[in-house]
Structure 1
Amino acid sequence: MTASPWTPPVQAERPASAPPHDPFSAPVRRIQPSSPPKRSNGLWVAIAALVLVLVATSGGLVFWLSSGTEEPAEPSVGSSAFPTTGLPGPNLKPWALFPPNGPEERSLATAAPSLVFIEAVFTGYLRNRATKAPVRTTPITFSRRCSGFVVTTGGHVLTSSSCVYPSAETTRQIALDAVARMLVREGTLAPGQVDNYIKTNLEKTEFTGIDPGSAPTSQMYGQMNDAKGNLVGDPAIPAELVKARPAETGNIALIKLARENLPVVELSGSAEVKEGSSLLVVGFGTDDTDFRTAAYTPRPKLVTVTGTARRGDASMYRINDDVGANSHGGFAIDPSGRVAGMVDQDLARPDRANRVVLPAAGLLDLLTEAGVKNELGASDRAYRDGLDAYFTGRHSSAVSQLEKAAAESPANLLAQAYRQIAVERQNSADDSSGRPIWPVVLLGGVGGILIVGLVVLIVLMLRRRR
């Protein structure tokens, strides 16, 4: 028997790519990777909120501390008109006469220091025009009193011509009135015959100097601030006539005081004064009945322009009120404190009340003819800077500038007065600025707590991230 050949057993084929069997392998992973930590959004929100609160608290503290030192804005002073309400009684205290910091107070405070009381004293003899014989053997002396205002640092003053340079007819009339009253006191003329005596002898007499044909002598004096009549010594300042225009061509005069560095007022040649507009007129007045010892003080009054008129070649404004018989030569000012015109007598009125204003343009023309210029001095500029600081609440600057103005121009008593008020207001502000300490302590404590809380939150956040 034949034996068949031996063949090896056939083995099943395995894919070439299959990995070798790993007995430790498992269908799922036994160790899972840990998930990333959740973001601490709440912690970040808390930190951001804490930072905002801290910033707000710090800002509030800074604002509270600095709010008391902020410079106030300058109040606007319009040039339209003053309020229509009347002014209180006479007295040159602008801070008491007007609403605080109003345009009336500010304009009066600016211009009033330049106001001058003028007294012109004339001495001569009343003579018969035909025979030249004196009517009275003794000289006749009479005074004219009015207002004026300083326009240059050299002491030039604008005033009324009829006051300091009256016409020959006016001086005769005044001299005749003086003689008539002497005759009444002597019992040779009845009181009711005074006017007729003047009228009868006006064209028959002349008023001359010590010799026939010579001019009567005259002396002039000016007083700043309050004044007294018949005063020839200090504080009265001697003056002399520089230039004058008669009534028919302006009735304005320029005199020069024998003193410099007096307060100066600005003229507004371009001022537009219209019917119905308001002006503040200022001139000297008195309530005393004894002419020889009368005391005079500056008086302001708010007036309304009622119309325009002409006196010869000169134009003028009519106003509805006045501040008394001695206010001619005073000024009418606008809300900026500049002179819009000079107060003068209304010759068309029976009482010749001081109810016209001569425009500033004519005043400037007279200054040009005399070769002088309306300019402020260093003390005037310091005074205005001081007033500007005063009315805008910058008391420290006001004290400094007003002290400078008062030192350089001692006649400016308002500079001294406003300086004292500024000092008092500054002291009051310093006292009131001593703020209570509890807001600082409270805000500081809150800020400190917030800072500590912020640091703690940041530390916690960093630890959790580790």
Structure 2
Amino acid sequence: MGAHHSVRGVRLMRAVFVAAALLALTAAPAAGAASQPSSPEESAAAVARPGIVLVTVEWRGWVRDKRTGEQFGGADGYQIKSTCSGAVIKPDGHVATASHCVHTGPQGGAGALFDAAIEELAAAGRIGDRAVAKAQLIEHAVAEGATPDRPVDRAIQVERMEATGDGPIRDIAPATVVDLVAPTDGDVAVLKVPRDNLPSLEIRADQTPVGTPVLAIGYPGSAGAAVDPSLEPSNKNGQVSARRTQNDRPFYEISAAATHGMSGGPVVDMEGRIVGLVSQGAPGETQSFNFAAASTTLLDVLAGKDVKAELGTHDRAYREGLERYFADDFDGAVEGFDDVLAASPGHLQATEYRRLAVERGGTAGGDSVLLIGFAVLCASIAVGTGAAGTMVALTRRRRLTPASPVAAAAPAPGGHSPTPVPTSVPLSAPTPVPDEGFAGVPARGTPAFILPEGSDNSGPAPAGPAPAGLPVVSDVDTPPFGIPLLPAALGLEPQRDREGDTDKVERGEAGALRDEQTDKLTEPRRQHVEPGTPLAGEPRADQADEGDEADQGHEDEKR
């Protein structure tokens, strides 16, 4: 019967794990396949797009011909607005862009004012070839602000979209120039806006090999053109076509088609890391070829100002949320995006991807977490069931073995206590009595049985009265003071073939011994009590009841 309980425990454990596996399979949303990225470019764009910003610059100034002193721009001067792109490179508001977007020289703001002066002169019919006229202005004229011989006035703003309860809004922040290198000397600038916990991009520190797939991301359009109110950046895919140098600064030639409005925008690899910033196109090249200032130049500019580009905790949580989302773990994705939004509440892409994950069945603390807890609970129940089956088997095996002297008991395999070897000993066999006058007590762990009155005993009757020194088994509940309760053979042959009503005998034995032990514990006259031999399957006086502790452990797990 013990083996039967063990088999049942194993079967139950298997059934529990099968049920847990089936539940895990059925809990997966049917629409999960739709979340897989269609290409590496999509995954890279999902990582990089949160850190893309629009850089707008308003220029105000006049153009003065140094040869003649003539000034162009009228009383109010020229007011020009230009747009570029950029990337947040540190959550505290550091932004990278192209130097020519914010530089006040001829390749920056001054060049924009020269273009305005040429348009005015062309409208008046004073020039023929615009390219020649601009070259002459660059050589003989100067662009200046309200104060003569001072740089043109410049106001920089960084714009990005933020999520709110009422929908996306445009966040516009003033920006200052931290440092830059000239457009002809690297074309990199670093700005700073008064914002915290902004989504940021990682910068690749090594040299990018030729042939590496890349994305150029930014806001396409020409100066003065209206920008999409939603500030949705555009992705242009390509690859690194060649490595170039200009004034000892590294540049990458890329095949991604980027327009002027994308100047300063990041060029990222398939992991969403910045490998360069879109720079000015090389003279004479077609639109299909552009240049990107290498990320190593950007790192040099940052190092010159002791600024270390790094991702924030929310950036790492966002990337982890994306990984879970694209792996169809929508519960984990929701939790990851919740961590992002706790630190950066306006994170637009985290808000959007969280919405998509919820639409696909994801919830915070949902099935993925519940299944883990359920699996742990099932494992605990299975282990407890197996242990209980083993205890029942051992208990029944011990109860079926009659008490007798133990001969040459060796440790069982695995280090368990030795199992007594049953022998047939008649009741008339004398039991040696020690000098102290006490009868020998069997070793702890040896089963002891007393046949209750009325029990069915088909074995041979005792041959005669017990010899001197051997206590007589009677219906007296408590033995004489100082004499421990001794085991008595049942007179039954071991039930090797499992025949007979063993359950009836066991129930009678258990009841008689429990009553007798209860009386012993309540005996008021005893000052020193030797522990009696416990019933098989019950704990000794110096042992805890493992069964109760195991059950209590399961209750604690359930709570």
TM-score (norm 1): 0.67
- Give the match's secondary structure for 1:368: helix
Find out whether 1:209 has 2:139 as its counterpart.
Answer: no
**Contact residue 343 and residue 354 of structure 1 kept, 8 A:** no
Find out whether 1:176 has 2:109 as its counterpart.
Answer: no
Within 5 A, what are the aligned runs for 1:92-103? Answer: 100=37, 102-103=39-40
**Between Structure 1 and Structure 2, how many residues are aligned?**
359
Alignment correspondent of 1:316: 251
Cα offset for 1:352?
7.3
Find out whether 1:392 has 2:327 as its counterpart.
Answer: yes
Cα distance in 2, alignment partners of residues 104 and 60 from structure 1: 44
Flag structure 2 segments of 5+ consecutive residues without an equivalent.
Answer: 28-32, 163-168, 371-496, 503-559
**Contact residue 321 and residue 355 of structure 1 kept, 8 A:** yes
Cα offset for 1:320?
1.5
Q: Which has the higher contact order (CA 8 A, sep 6+)?
A: 1
Within 5 A, what are the aligned runs for 1:4-153? Answer: 59=14, 62-69=17-24, 100=37, 102-138=39-75, 139-153=77-91
**Contact residue 212 and residue 269 of structure 2 kept, 8 A:** no
Alignment correspondent of 1:167: 105
Cα offset for 1:157?
0.6
**Contact residue 101 and residue 391 of structure 1 kept, 8 A:** no
Cα distance in 2, alignment partners of residues 213 and 257 from structure 1: 28
Per-residue displacement from partner, 1:346-404 (whole Å, max 9, x unpaired)?
32444677722322222111111011111222222222232233233332232122123
Identity of aligned residues (%): 26
**Contact residue 402 and residue 419 of structure 1 kept, 8 A:** yes
Alignment correspondent of 2:267: 332
Find out whether 1:275 has 2:183 as its counterpart.
Answer: no
**Contact residue 119 and residue 145 of structure 1 kept, 8 A:** yes
Cα offset for 1:265?
1.0
Cα distance in 2, alignment partners of residues 179 and 71 from structure 1: 70
Describe the shift of the 1:311–1:54 C-alpha distance in structure 2 as closer, same or farther (beyond 3 A): same
**Contact residue 280 and residue 332 of structure 1 kept, 8 A:** yes
RMSD, aligned α-carbons:
3.8
Using the TM superposition, name which of 136-145 and 261-270 deviates more: 136-145
Cα distance in 2, alignment partners of residues 159 and 395 from structure 1: 35
- Give the match's secondary structure for 1:280: strand
Pairing partner for 1:373 from 308, 323, 328: 308
Alignment correspondent of 1:408: 343
Amino acid at match of 2:59: F
- Give the match's secondary structure for 2:262: coil
**Contact residue 269 and residue 275 of structure 2 kept, 8 A:** yes
Alignment correspondent of 2:472: none
Find out whether 1:259 has 2:214 as its counterpart.
Answer: no
**Contact residue 121 and residue 218 of structure 1 kept, 8 A:** yes
**Contact residue 343 and residue 358 of structure 1 kept, 8 A:** yes
Cα offset for 1:166?
4.3
Cα distance in 1, alignment partners of residues 171 and 330 from structure 2: 31
Pairing partner for 2:317 from 378, 382, 404: 382
Per-residue displacement from partner, 1:150-182 (whole Å, max 9, x unpaired)?
111220111100111142365444323212323
TM-score (norm 2): 0.56
Flag structure 1 segments of 5+ consecutive residues without an equivalent.
Answer: 1-43, 73-94, 227-232, 434-460
Cα distance in 2, alignment partners of residues 132 and 234 from structure 1: 43
Cα distance in 2, alignment partners of residues 251 and 382 from structure 1: 32
Alignment correspondent of 1:88: none
Cα offset for 1:221?
0.7
Cα distance in 2, alignment partners of residues 425 and 325 from structure 1: 39
